[in-house]
Amino acid sequence: MIFPFFGFRDWIFAINIAVAALSALFLALWIDLPRPYWAVATVFITTQSLAGATRSKAAYRVYGTVLGAVATVIMVPNLIDAPELLSAAIALWVAFCLYFSLLDRTPKSYVLMLGGYTAAFVGFPSVADPGSIFDTAVARAEEITLGILCASLVSSVVLPQSVAPLIRSRLDQWFRDARQWSAAVFNRNRTDNGQAQRLRLACDAIAFDALVTPLRYDMSGAERSAEAMATLRQHMLMFLPIVAAIADRIAALESAQALSIDVRRRLADMAAWIASGTTEPITAHNLRLAIADLDPVLGRKPRWSDLVMASLVARLEDFIDLRQDARALQRHIVDGTPVRETLAFRYTADARTVRHRDRGLALLSAVAAFLAIALSASIWIATAWPDGAFAPTEAAVACSFFAVQDDPAPQIIGLMKAAIVGTVGAALYLFVVLPLATNAEMVALALAPGMIACGLLMTQPRTALFSLGTGAIGFTLLALQDRYSGDFATFTNGAIAGIVGLWTAAMVTRLVRSVGGAWSARRLRRINRRDLTQAALKQGTADGLELAALMLDRIGLIAPRLASLPSEDAEWTRELLTEVRIGIAVVELRRVRTNLPPKEAAALDRVLSAVAAHFQTDTIHVPAKVLALIDAALNAVVALEAGSLRRTGLLGLTDLRRGLFPNAAPYRPALETELAA
């Protein structure tokens, strides 16, 4: 017996599923819905361990069900005389919905995805009886909605689990790791695992996306802090390039033996401030003033160490603002209160909705879904297979559910195995157990152990998908009605058709859509470099932090795929955060050059064109001529009159030089070079 080893919360979750599923079943029978088993399957698909997650998924599922039902009512009556065209239309609708759902990487994407495969659920079985399509669509919407309501109600009433403690726990762990890394930087301690730690922090920050929507539906009071969580997630990502830049500038100054006692003292103060955990505004203000005192005057012939020091001061000020904001936002999340104060580092709030959207891979997933549905529907139509409509229906579900995976085929095959186990379990129930159940109480007692067992296994990551598939498919195949009707031929045809549909989806996906984690990581890196190229060519965003947010989002997606990369890819992974810093510098230089005189603007144009040419390739090592162009641009900008434009240009070029050539000899102004010669 493995059941006693499950925790208290696991048992509550499993019992909630059983109670909700049985409630949905008997309510559907009581109000005489034609397919009450769809309400049962909906409970398994909708119920989550967190109450807010269940409610959010329930709301999106209602919207998606209505959307799919409406689409079906439009398609089926108009194409019923041409089943081939109807199948193609449904397949196109599923592919269309899947494409746009993949572009939205938030839980809201579930609306479109469900709208797609609901049309398959309603449309394909209605081919044999097109006259009742409206009634079928309405009944399906009612059954699914009933299952959603039962799942949401039970999850909200029976010891609901709030997402807030989980978010607080994960935030504590994230900031603990971030403090450890930041303190090591300010204390000038070199660590061997710095790169891996930074990428893990990026991956963990991206993971908070999945918790923001459940937080909005938490209904415990914590939902008032959902906006704070969305903004904090972006602040967390911005820590990574800023702290990495600080580490780089400190290393450069140490290498040049230009790290003065005052600078070391301020860095120690920063480390102590981080360790103290204080968020007092006066402390941060005093630190900011102390840091500002370190800012060097960039005279007519600034030394390279002065330029690097000025860049370090700017990044330290950014860090102080970010840290104060992050602690304030974290406090709002702990207290469950909305954000009303003005943030110091306000730029990330504007970029919090920036997400990577891979249109190419979304299109490939849509094509795979269309082909799998069309092929399985062709088999059904060509063979006049009774109950064969389950084949394209299951193909639509499988292609939609797992499209976010690099290689969906193993997951689909896993679902197919779950369907086989669910079929065996359903057969035992249908032909052995249920004939002995003579009343509703006996039916409930018979079904409850299976439901609880599936629910328990759903709480474990290794068996969650398998048990979900077993429960949802198995209890659907039971086709429970108000009276026993065990038809072996109908049961067998439906079960085999579903497995054939899943097998077809797996094979088509393997041929058309499957890619590896290494391929996806390299693709994301190429897209980042493409955006850098466009930024340098004045074709991308005019906001450096927006570009950084987009690139950081992709880095968070790359991080969990690093394990699949061969050792020869280790070199470019070390440059991921550096490229973010380069992107910010490039956009800043683009902005500066619009206000420069022609000569200085031309010098910056030559730099940006050379940077664009480099990032159009896959090479890591930057040509030496780019360094010469950056130094020439520094010479041109140095000659400008003192002012904010000159300073911004010098700092942008300094950041670019450090990002592209961290090991290059220090920059020397032209006049100084001529005098030395």
Residue 128 is classified by DSSP as G
Is pLDDT above 70 for 364? yes
Is pLDDT above 70 for 470? yes
Report the distance separating Cα 512 and Cα 520, nearest Å: 15
The confidence score (pLDDT) of residue 673 equals 43
The confidence score (pLDDT) of residue 348 equals 64
Report the distance separating Cα 575 and Cα 581, nearest Å: 10
Q: Please, are residues 395 and 504 in contact by the beta-carbon 8 Å criterion?
A: yes
Is pLDDT above 80 for 456? yes
Domain ranges in the chain with CATH number 1.20.58: 164-217+222-335
Q: At 193, is the pLDDT very low, low, confident or very high (cuts 50, 70, 90)?
A: low
Q: At 93, is the pLDDT very low, low, confident or very high (cuts 50, 70, 90)?
A: very high
The confidence score (pLDDT) of residue 570 equals 66
Q: Per mean pLDDT, which of 122-126, 375-379, 590-594 is the most reliable?
A: 375-379
Element (H, E) at 387: none
Find the farthest-apart pair of alpha carbons in the chain and give their distance in angstroms, rounded.
104
Lookup: tokens for 94? 């599923």
Average confidence (pLDDT) over 268-295: 88
Q: At 194, is the pLDDT very low, low, confident or very high (cuts 50, 70, 90)?
A: low
Is pLDDT above 80 for 33? yes
Average confidence (pLDDT) over 60-84: 85
Is pLDDT above 60 for 192? no
Q: At 269, is the pLDDT very low, low, confident or very high (cuts 50, 70, 90)?
A: very high
Q: How does pLDDT run across 562-608, given as a tens digit for each residue? A: 777 777 676 777 778 888 888 888 888 888 888 888 888 899 999 99
Please give the C-alpha separations between residue 383 and each of 99, 388, 526, in angstroms, as whole numbers. Answer: 30, 9, 46
The confidence score (pLDDT) of residue 609 equals 93
Q: Per mean pLDDT, which of 164-178, 332-346, 658-672 is the most reliable?
A: 164-178
DSSP assignment of 602-613, as one string? HHHHHHHHHHHH
Report the distance separating Cα 557 and Cα 577, nearest Å: 13
The confidence score (pLDDT) of residue 674 equals 46
The confidence score (pLDDT) of residue 594 equals 85
Global pTM?
0.84
Q: At 541, is the pLDDT very low, low, confident or very high (cuts 50, 70, 90)?
A: low
Average confidence (pLDDT) over 165-180: 87
Q: What are phi and psi of 303, to 5 degrees?
A: -75, 155
Q: Please, are residues 658 and 308 in contact by the beta-carbon 8 Å criterion?
A: yes
Average confidence (pLDDT) over 188-199: 70
Average confidence (pLDDT) over 183-191: 82
The confidence score (pLDDT) of residue 543 equals 62
- C-beta neighbour count of 552 within 10 angstroms: 29
Element (H, E) at 191: none
- Rounded to the nearest 10°, the torsion over CA 393, 395, 397, 402 is 180
Is pLDDT above 80 for 649? yes
Q: How does pLDDT run across 608-645, given as a tens digit for each residue? A: 999 999 999 888 888 999 999 999 999 999 888 888 88
Residue 604: CB partners within 8 Å, gap ≥ 6?
Answer: 589, 592, 593, 596, 633, 636, 637, 649
In terms of Cβ atoms closer than 10 Å to its own Cβ (0-12, 13-18, 19+), residue 245 is buried
Average confidence (pLDDT) over 368-384: 92
Is pLDDT above 50 for 8? yes
Q: At 1, is the pLDDT very low, low, confident or very high (cuts 50, 70, 90)?
A: very low
Q: How does pLDDT run across 398-413, given as a tens digit for each residue? A: 999 899 888 999 999 9
191 or 359, higher pLDDT? 359
The confidence score (pLDDT) of residue 5 equals 66
643 or 543, higher pLDDT? 643
Report the distance separating Cα 309 and Cα 584, nearest Å: 18
User: Alpha helix locations (H) across 80-163?
Assistant: 83-103, 109-123, 133-157
The confidence score (pLDDT) of residue 164 equals 79
Report the distance separating Cα 400 and Cα 115, nearest Å: 11
Q: What mean pLDDT is reported for the chain? A: 85
User: Alpha helix locations (H) across 256-358?
Assistant: 261-276, 281-292, 304-335, 347-350
User: Which letter, b or e, does each residue of 646-661 get, where b requires 16 or more Cβ atoms within 10 Å of its Cβ?
Assistant: bbbbbbbbbbbbbbbb
Assign 3-class secondary structure to 34-74. CCHHHHHHHHHHHCCCCHHHHHHHHHHHHHHHHHHHHHHHH
Report the distance separating Cα 551 and Cα 583, nearest Å: 9
Q: CATH assignment of 164-217+222-335, given 1.10.287, 1.20.58, 3.40.50, 1.20.1250?
A: 1.20.58
208 or 112, higher pLDDT? 112
The confidence score (pLDDT) of residue 301 equals 85
